[in-house]
Amino acid sequence: MRRPVSLYGLTFSLPLLIWQLLFFVFPLLFLVALSFWTVKNFVMSPDFDTVNWTTMYGRAVFWQAYGATFALAAGAAALTSILAFPCAYAIAFKLSDTARRWAVFLMVIPFFTSYLVRVYSWQIFLSDNGIINVMLGWIGLGPYPLLNTVGATMVGYLTLSFPLVVLLQLFSLVFIDRTLIEAAHNMRCGRVRTVFEVVIPSARVGLVIAALFAFILSFGDFVSPIYLGGGDPTTLSILITDTTKSGQQWPRAAVIALTMIGTLMVVAFAAVQFAYKGKTK
C-alpha cells in the first residue's frame, strides 16, 4: 500500500531532493548535452552532433588510457584490500576493546591532512635525491628511479584509500559471530584455513564494498598518476585535463567523463550484486 506524502515527511526530504537535482542531476544532464556540442575555432556552440563520441571512441590513445586506468584502479583495489586485510583482521580479533578504539582513532587521523599534501610528501621520499634513495646510498645502493613510476602511482592510491578500506573491512569483521569461528575450529578447521573458510565469507559484503571504494577512488584520481606517476601511463583523468587544454575541447572531455561515470556505475552494480550473491532477504 502506498502511503500518502505528508508535509512532515516533505520538510525533511525536500532539501535533499532539491540539492540532488541542482548539483547532481542537472549537471549530469548538462554533461550529456555538452557531449553533443561542437567546437569551431576554439568556440563552443550548442549542437546535436555525435562527432565527439565518434572521435574519442575512434582514438587509440583513449582506449589505451581507458585500459590503463581500469587496470591501475583494479590493481589498486586488489592491492589495498590484500594489504588492509591483515591490518583490519588484527584490529578486529587480536586487540582489546580499548586498543581497538585507539586503532580506529589512528585510522581516522590521515583524513585530517589533505590528500594532495600527503602525495607531495611522498615526492620527498621517492624522488631521486629523496629520503629513500639517500638512505639506500648509505649502504651503497641506488639511486633507483622511484618517482614517476607505476609503483609510485600505486603508493599514491594506497595513501588515498588504505585507511578507508581498513575501516570498512574492520566494521564488517567486528560483527562476525565469534561462535562461527569457534565452530569452524571445533570441526578441525585450522586457524589460517578458518580465515578463508569462515571469516572472509562472513565479511564478504564489507570486503567487497571496501574494494569497490578503493576502485572508485583510484579510478577517478588525478593527483597520484600526475604527481607520483609523472603522467605515464596517461589515465582518463589526465586525458580530461589534456583535452580541455587543447583547443577548448570541453565536449570531448564530457565524453570521457561520461564514459568514466558509466564504467563506475557498471562496476559498482556488479560489485554489489557479487557481494550479496546468494543472500535472500
Partner 1 sequence: MQRDTLVSFEGVVKRFGSFVAVQKMDFEIRKGEFLAIMGSSGCGKTTTLRMLAGLEAPSEGVIRLSGKPINDLPTWSRDTPMVWQSLALFPFLNVRENVEFALKMRGIGKVERRRRAEQWLDRMQITEFADRNIAQLSGGQRQRVALARSLVVEPEILLLDEPLSALDAALKVRMQSVLKTLQRETGITFVYVTHSQSEAFSMADRVVIMSRGVIEQIGTPQEIYRAPRTRFVADFLGSSNLFSGRVRPGAAGGVELETPAGALKLGGDGVMPADGTTATVTVLDTKTHLSVTPPARSVNVVPVRVVGEEFVGATATVYLETPQGQEIRVQKGHDELADLPLGIGQDLFAWWEPKDGHLVAEA
Per CB under 8 A, the list member of 17, 21, 82, 187 interacting with partner 1 is 187
Nearer to partner 1, 34 or 203 (CB): 203
* C-beta of residue 122 within 8 angstroms of C-beta of residue 155: yes
Per CB under 8 A, the list member of 189, 195, 268, 272 interacting with partner 1 is 189
Phi, psi for residue 156 in degrees, rounded to 5: -65, -45
Stretch that binds partner 1, among 83-91, 101-109, 182-190, 261-269 (CB under 8 A): 182-190
What would you report as the CA-atom Rg of the chain, rounded to the nearest whole angstrom? Answer: 23
Phi, psi for residue 279 in degrees, rounded to 5: -95, 125
Nearer to partner 1, 73 or 211 (CB): 211
Q: Does 278 bind partner 1 (CB under 8 A)?
A: yes
Nearer to partner 1, 261 or 275 (CB): 275
Nearer to partner 1, 197 or 242 (CB): 197
Q: Does 198 bind partner 1 (CB under 8 A)?
A: yes
Q: Which of 245, 225, 248, 229 is nearest to 237 (CA)?
A: 225
Phi, psi for residue 44 in degrees, rounded to 5: -85, 140
Our CA angle for 157, 72, 134, nearest 5°, is 55
* C-beta of residue 67 within 8 angstroms of C-beta of residue 271: no
Q: Does 134 bind partner 1 (CB under 8 A)?
A: no
CB count within 10 Å of CB 205 equals: 15
Q: Does 15 bind partner 1 (CB under 8 A)?
A: no
For 38: left if phi > 0, alpha if psi spans -120 to 50, otherwise beta; the answer is beta
Task: Please state the closest distance from residue 202 (CB atom) to partner 1, in A.
Answer: 6
Phi, psi for residue 246 in degrees, rounded to 5: -90, 95
Cell output for 100: 581497538
Q: Which residue has the cell 525533511?
A: 12
Per CB under 8 A, the list member of 15, 86, 137, 201 interacting with partner 1 is 201
Q: Does 98 bind partner 1 (CB under 8 A)?
A: no
Number of residues in contact with partner 1, rule: CB under 8 A?
A: 22
Nearer to partner 1, 49 or 177 (CB): 177
Burial of residue 53 (CB within 10 Å: 0-12, 13-18, 19+) is: middle
Stretch that binds partner 1, among 17-25, 44-52, 159-167, 180-188 (CB under 8 A): 180-188
Stretch that binds partner 1, among 13-21, 85-93, 174-182, 217-225 (CB under 8 A): 174-182
Nearer to partner 1, 98 or 186 (CB): 186
Binding interface with partner 1 (CB under 8 A): 177, 179-180, 182-191, 193, 197-198, 201-202, 204, 278-280
